[in-house]
Structures are given as structure tokens and as C-alpha cells.
């Protein structure tokens, strides 16, 4: 008996995506971010500025996030196989989730260090702190411009996350510059500590947002921009559909939405099941942009419903 092999090459929608622009953008971002993170770290240690050190750790977390992202971009281009029938798009989500958690942990560590310095203040060198903060501002503006250009060509959750990271970094650089100026005018080291805490809050908030979005996708929750009650009601407006159940709506990745459910009909004699399924598929695609649809028509006389 000859066994037929499943054709994993054919899918109604692609479970993979080529992201040449994202790969190029992320590589450039990694090199620039790593370089400046090292500059900030050594500059913070030399100047004694906790704000610079805390921002350098933020930048290092960006490097790790970008590395995860470029790995995700590589795997996302791999096609489905017999072990991974949905492909590897979800690696993009896993990397975003790890990145979010890392940011939250780093932010807590910075706050702990800030509390220690509150009781044991250290001298801060104004010139070093100010110069590095200005360079950091310029680097972050360049990176934001590169990432925004990339997103116009290719939509990618990790590139989008990186953009938010560098937006936060830009604000952090502005904060460090302000802290340096106040420090120069007042000689009060506490402003360096205050800015580092503010940076930590920005880092934690960004990390929480990214981790939450990725967590909901990993938990196969209903996408936040879709109303399940509205979709349910729309399907019931299709002729001959009496009821639906076993209803599931979830994300495989940020853009790849799947839906599956069972249908009960008003009547079964002389009904073309394929036409009803086709009407459902058209509705979901045209109204909600859902293309991965799995529908099962059931007859209570044949399929028992307890």
C-alpha cells in the first residue's frame, strides 16, 4: 500500500515571510547600538553618572532584543514542514516576549542601584556626561529614522518594538542632557539619580507593553482589534446558517490570524456545503482580513451534540 505524502508546499496563505529590508535594518541597528552602549557604559563609569550607566544597560538590552529579532527574521523565512506545520513565524513573538521580560528586569535593577546611590552619592563629571548624552541623542535619532524607513517597506513586530525602544532611548538622552545641565548649575547629584529612575520607568513600561502583546499572541487570545461578538453575529447572517459553535479566533503571529468553528444549518437536503463555506470565507476575508479559515459543517442527526 502506497502512502501519500502531505504536501507542505501548498497553503492558502503563506506561513513564512521574506524580510530582506528588516534583516538589513536590524544588522545596522545592532552595530550602532552595541558601539554606543559601550561608549555610554565606559562614559558612565568614568563620569560617575548612574543615568548614563542605566541608559547603557537599556542600550545593551536593545542589542539583545535586536539579536533575537534578526534570528526571528531568519527563521520566519523558513517554510512549514511536517514538524512545524505553521512554519516558524512564532519565533518572532517569542523573541519579543523575552525582550520585554529582559527590559522589565533591567529596569528593576537600575532602581535598586538608584536607591543605593541615594544614600551614598557619587561625584559626577559634567563634561563627560553631557558630551556622551548628546552623541547618544544623535545616534538614537539616526536609528529611529532607519527603523521608520524599514517599517514603511516591511511590517515586523520586532522592528516596531525596536522603534519604541529607540524612542525611549531618545527621550532618555534628552533626560540625561537636562540632568547634566541641572547638575552643572546646582551641583546636586540627586538629579542624576532622579533621571535614572525616570529612565527605569520608561524601560519597564515599554517592556511590559511588548511582553503583554507577545503574551496574548502566545496564549492564542483573540486579537485586540477584532470583536468576537460582531464576527459571530455576521456569520449568522449568512443564508441557511442556524448556529455556530467550537469557535476559536487567534494569532499565529502579529499579522497571521486564524479562525475555526463548526456550523449547524437550518436544513441539509439539497444544500451545497461548499457554497456556504465559500460565503463564510469571503465574509471573513473581506470584512476582517482573516484568510486562514477552517470551517466544519455538522448535521446533528449524524454528528451527536450532547
Which of residues 171 and 105 earns the better pLDDT score? 105
Q: What is the mean pLDDT of residues 103-113?
A: 80
Q: Is the pLDDT of residue 280 over 90?
A: yes
Mean pLDDT across the chain: 79
Q: Nearest to residue 287, comparing CAs of 268, 248, 259?
A: 259
Q: What is the mean pLDDT of residues 52-80?
A: 74
Q: Is the pLDDT of residue 2 over 60?
A: no
pTM exceeds 0.85 for this model: no
Q: Is the pLDDT of residue 241 over 70?
A: yes
Q: What is the mean pLDDT of residues 220-248?
A: 90
pLDDT at 10: 46
Confidence of residue 145 (pLDDT cuts 50, 70, 90): confident
Q: What is the mean pLDDT of residues 91-102?
A: 81
Torsion sign, CA atoms 101, 107, 108, 110: positive
Q: Cβ atoms within 10 A of the Cβ of 183, count?
A: 22
Q: Nearest to residue 53, comparing CAs of 141, 114, 95?
A: 114
Q: Is the pLDDT of residue 229 over 70?
A: yes
Burial 28-66 (b: 16+ CB within 10 A, else e): bbbebbbebbebbbebbeebbbbbbbbbbbbbbbbbbbb
Q: Is the pLDDT of residue 188 over 80?
A: no
Q: Is the pLDDT of residue 155 over 80?
A: no
What digits encode the pLDDT tens for the residues 4-21?
554 545 445 555 455 566
Instruction: Supply φ then ψ for residue 105, to 5 degrees.
Output: -65, -45
pLDDT at 260: 92
Alpha-carbon span 69 to 74, nearest angstrom: 9
The fraction of the chain above a pLDDT of 70, given in percent, is 84
Q: Is the pLDDT of residue 230 over 90?
A: yes
pLDDT at 1: 47
C-alpha distances (whole Å) from 38 to each of 88, 273, 283, 306 are 33, 63, 53, 64
What digits encode the pLDDT tens for the residues 286-297?
999 888 898 999
pLDDT at 153: 66
Instruction: For residue 150, give every residue at least 6 positions away whose Cβ sits within 8 Å of its Cβ, in sequence order, or none.
Output: 21, 22, 24, 25, 156, 159
Confidence of residue 193 (pLDDT cuts 50, 70, 90): confident
Q: Is the pLDDT of residue 266 over 50?
A: yes
What digits encode the pLDDT tens for the residues 158-184?
666 677 667 767 777 787 788 778 878
Instruction: Supply φ then ψ for residue 123, to 5 degrees.
Output: -70, 140
Amino acid at each position: 500500500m502506497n502512502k501519500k505524502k502531505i504536501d507542505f508546499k501548498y497553503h492558502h496563505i503563506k506561513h513564512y515571510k521574506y524580510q530582506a529590508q528588516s534583516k538589513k535594518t536590524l544588522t545596522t541597528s545592532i552595530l550602532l547600538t552595541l558601539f554606543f552602549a559601550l561608549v555610554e557604559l565606559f562614559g558612565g563609569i568614568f563620569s560617575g553618572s548612574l543615568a548614563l550607566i542605566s541608559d547603557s544597560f537599556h542600550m545593551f538590552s536593545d542589542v539583545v532584543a535586536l539579536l533575537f529579532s534578526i534570528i526571528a527574521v531568519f527563521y520566519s523565512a523558513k517554510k512549514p514542514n511536517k514538524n512545524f506545520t505553521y512554519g516558524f513565524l512564532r519565533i518572532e513573538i517569542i523573541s519579543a516576549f523575552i525582550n520585554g521580560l529582559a527590559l522589565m528586569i533591567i529596569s528593576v535593577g537600575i532602581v535598586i542601584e538608584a536607591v543605593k546611590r541615594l544614600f551614598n552619592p557619587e561625584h559626577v563629571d559634567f563634561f563627560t556626561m553631557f558630551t556622551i548624552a548628546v552623541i547618544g541623542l544623535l545616534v538614537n535619532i539616526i536609528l529611529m529614522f532607519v527603523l521608520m524607513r524599514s517599517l514603511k517597506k516591511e511590517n515586523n513586530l520586532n522592528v516596531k518594538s525596536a522603534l519604541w525602544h529607540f524612542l525611549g532611548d531618545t527621550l532618555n538622552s534628552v533626560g540625561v542632557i537636562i540632568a547634566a545641565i541641572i547638575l552643572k548649575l546646582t551641583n546636586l547629584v540627586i538629579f542624576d539619580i532622579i533621571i535614572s529612575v525616570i529612565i527605569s520607568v520608561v524601560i519597564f513600561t515599554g517592556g511590559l507593553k511588548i511582553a503583554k502583546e507577545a503574551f496574548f499572541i502566545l496564549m492564542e487570545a483573540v486579537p485586540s482589534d477584532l470583536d468576537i461578538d460582531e464576527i459571530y453575529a455576521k456569520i449568522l447572517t449568512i443564508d441557511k446558517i442556524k448556529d455556530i459553535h467550537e469557535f476559536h479566533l487567534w494569532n499565529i503571529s502579529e499579522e497571521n490570524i486564524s479562525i475555526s468553528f463548526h456550523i449547524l444549518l437550518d436544513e441539509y437536503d439539497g444544500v451545497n456545503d461548499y457554497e456556504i463555506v465559500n460565503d463564510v470565507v469571503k465574509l471573513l476575508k473581506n470584512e476582517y482580513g482573516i484568510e486562514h479559515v477552517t470551517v466544519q459543517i455538522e448535521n446533528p442527526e449524524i454528528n451527536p451534540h450532547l
